[in-house]
Chains A and B, each alone.
Chain A
Amino acid sequence: MNSMELPLVIFTVLSQGAVGLVALTAARQWAADGGGDLSPAPRTAWLTAMALLALGAFAALFHLGHMGGAVRTLANLESAWLSREGLALGATGALLLAGYLSPGLRARGAATAAAALGVAAVLVTSMTYAPAGFPALNNALPGVFFLLTAAVLGPALAAPFLPDAHQPVAMRALRAAMLVSLVINLVVPCVWLSGGTVMRLTGEAFLAAPLYWLRMALLAGSYALARGGRMPAWMLPLLVVQELLGRALFFMLPVHASVNIGNPF
Chain B
Amino acid sequence: MYPPKLEKIIQLFESLPEIERRETLVSYADNAKKQEPRAGEKFVLEDVRKDEECADTVGVYLQVDDEGKAHFRMTLGPEVQTLTRAMTAILCKGLDGRTPEEVLELPSDFVTRIVGAELVRVRSQTIYYVLTRIKGICKVYLDRQRMAEVA
* Chains A and B are bound partners: no
Binding site for B on A (CB under 8 A): none
Binding site for A on B (CB under 8 A): none
